[in-house]
Amino acid sequence: MRIDLHTHSTASDGTDAPAQVVADAAAAGLDVLALTDHDTTAGWDEAADAARALGIALVRGTEVSARAHGISIHLLSYLQDPTHPALTAELDKTRDARLHRAQAIVELLAVDVPITWDDVLEHSRDAVVVGRPHIADALVSRGVVPDRDTAFRHLLSAAGPYHVPHYAPDGPDAVRAIRAAGGVPVFAHPGADARGRIVPDRVFDRLAAAGLGGIEVDHRDHSPAQRKRLTAIADRLGLLVTGSSDYHGAGKANRLGENLTAPEVLAAIEDQGTTEVVRP
């Protein structure tokens, strides 16, 4: 069974509609797909309809923005109740903060490069969450940078002059909110040190104490050394180990199914989650 538990659609910063992500996953030979857009569940219904029609199982989830040790982190929430106030309130607050942050970044960039807020909106289309990837796409269209990755390495770097922080809940609080909503929290790509600073080992202990369920170990942004480190942390804390593509369509080089999750891990996530996996 081929299981990919981390993908994005146009509901956040992916380039393909939810139904198209599901269709691409089926074409890639996946048996199970998770749709985990940033801070939203807006793509769930469309993806579920497509999954039933195409004969692929769908895990409904969300990639929740959070902060720990002064560092931006992401938590994959699987199979939560999308109406539960403990989590929806945080997602609403974070989405609003992301929007204002994006507008502030564009104002800073516009002093030095040709970009407008309308340029960004052309690329965000139906996205519920407007953020830096859409700014990156606008910069590419304007010819300022050749691709998203270059935009993030330079103009949109957290260490660069155009960086603007945004609200996100404290990591343990986000874990507790996910658990309160009946979701299963998994720490997304925590060893992606090429992206910037990563959290020290003691943060995993704090998150585990709050109810963290697993760690996304197998990810293209994790070196062999990081995978070994994260596997040891998961073993020490009794956490699940997942693998995923973090697929964004044309937005990133990540390919569906390039990293996978074991069937027994998915079964454990199902046992803990509130909503059911959508099956054909």
pLDDT in tens, 101-112: 999 999 999 999
Q: Do domains 3-92+166-272 and 101-153 have the same CATH topology?
A: no
In angstroms, the CA 256 to CA 260 distance is 9
Q: What percent of the chain has pLDDT over 90?
A: 86
Return the domain boundaries, the chain.
3-92+166-272, 101-153
pLDDT for 126 beyond 80 = no
pLDDT for 138 beyond 80 = yes
Which fold would CATH assign to domain 101-153?
Answer: DNA polymerase; domain 1 (1.10.150)
Helix (H, G, I), strand (E, B) or coil at 120: helix
Which pLDDT value is given to residue 195? 81
Confidence class for position 251, pLDDT limits 50, 70, 90? confident
Which pLDDT value is given to residue 54? 97
Which pLDDT value is given to residue 131? 86
State whether CATH 3.30.1330.60 applies to domain 3-92+166-272.
no
More confident residue, 62 or 133: 62
Q: What is the mean pLDDT of residues 139-167?
A: 91
Which pLDDT value is given to residue 113? 95
pLDDT for 166 beyond 90 = no
Helix (H, G, I), strand (E, B) or coil at 196: coil
pLDDT for 278 beyond 90 = yes
pLDDT for 87 beyond 90 = yes
Confidence class for position 145, pLDDT limits 50, 70, 90? very high
- Within a 10 A sphere around the Cβ of 72, how many other Cβ atoms? 16
Which pLDDT value is given to residue 52? 98
Q: What is the mean pLDDT of residues 170-174?
A: 98
Q: What is the mean pLDDT of residues 12-32?
A: 97
